[in-house]
Amino acid sequence: MRRLGALLLEILCFRHSGVSPLNDNLIELKNKTMEVFVFLPGSLLAAFIQQQHGVKQENADDKTGSLLAPVLDHLDAMLLVVRVEKMRPLKDMLPTLIVCHNLAKTGGQDILNCFKKAILPTSQQTEVANDQTKAFFFKHLKFFLTCLDTDVRRYTSEWLFLLCDENAKEYTHRTGVGNAIGLLRMKGLA
């Protein structure tokens, strides 16, 4: 099982200088990997990621790599091809959203903090360029809160709610009242 996890994470990490990260075949391969991750318990996937990150940290000179870098890189690529370039259907986003939700829910505080740091824009004016990138991707994630695909909408809202520490006020502040009300009513918080 450990070898399977390592292999799947290697596929998710795959990069080649001659192949664009938005290459259709590469996106498809990585999306199929995410579909396999959907069927793994979130805690097992978190263990795979933590183990793989530990191995990479031991073998690397620089220790700045994000614990969730492969997942976040694929999330960014999927947001670009689904939402910005509109090269793929919205339903292709679902496996990535499910994996992100499952990791945030069952992966422990370090994984949740890593997601928060990577996804949620800060309200401070520090790190302007990095925060603009986060705001760009967060805006496209917020779009999914109003899309017609109920599964994409549900997993996105549940995931963002987890990133807001299941705090209704913070969730509403970050996503807007109109976007937040559906999930909050479903949870009996509005």
Query: CA–CA separation, 12 vs 79, rounded Å?
Result: 16
Report CA-CA distances (Å) from 53 to 170, 172, 175. 30, 33, 31
Query: pTM (2 decimals)?
Result: 0.87
Q: With CA atoms as reference, report the closest residue to 46 among 104, 115, 96.
A: 104
Token pair listed for 62? 């620089």
**pLDDT value for 37:** 92
Average pLDDT estimate for 119-141: 77
Q: Confirm if 91 and 149 have CB atoms less than 8 A apart.
A: yes
16 DSSP 8-state letter = B
Residue 175, Cβ neighbours under 10 Å: how many? 23
In this predicted structure, the answer to whether residue 91 has a pLDDT above a threshold of 90 is: yes
∠ at Cα 48 (95, 79), nearest 5°? Answer: 30
> What are the beta bridge partners of residue 126?
none
Largest CA distance in the chain: 51
What's the number of domains the chain is made of? 1
Which of 25-29, 57-61, 180-184 bottoms out in mean pLDDT, i.e. has the lowest?
A: 57-61
**pLDDT value for 128:** 60
Kindly give, in sequence order, each residue whose CB lies less than 8 Å from that of residue 173, ignoring residues fewer than 6 positions away.
Answer: none
Average pLDDT estimate for 12-16: 90
Q: What share of the chain is helix, strand, coil (3-state, %, to 5)?
A: 75, 0, 25
In this predicted structure, the answer to whether residue 160 has a pLDDT above a threshold of 90 is: yes
User: pLDDT tier at 50 (50, 70, 90 boundaries)?
Assistant: confident
Domain that holds residue 86: 2-186
**pLDDT value for 104:** 93
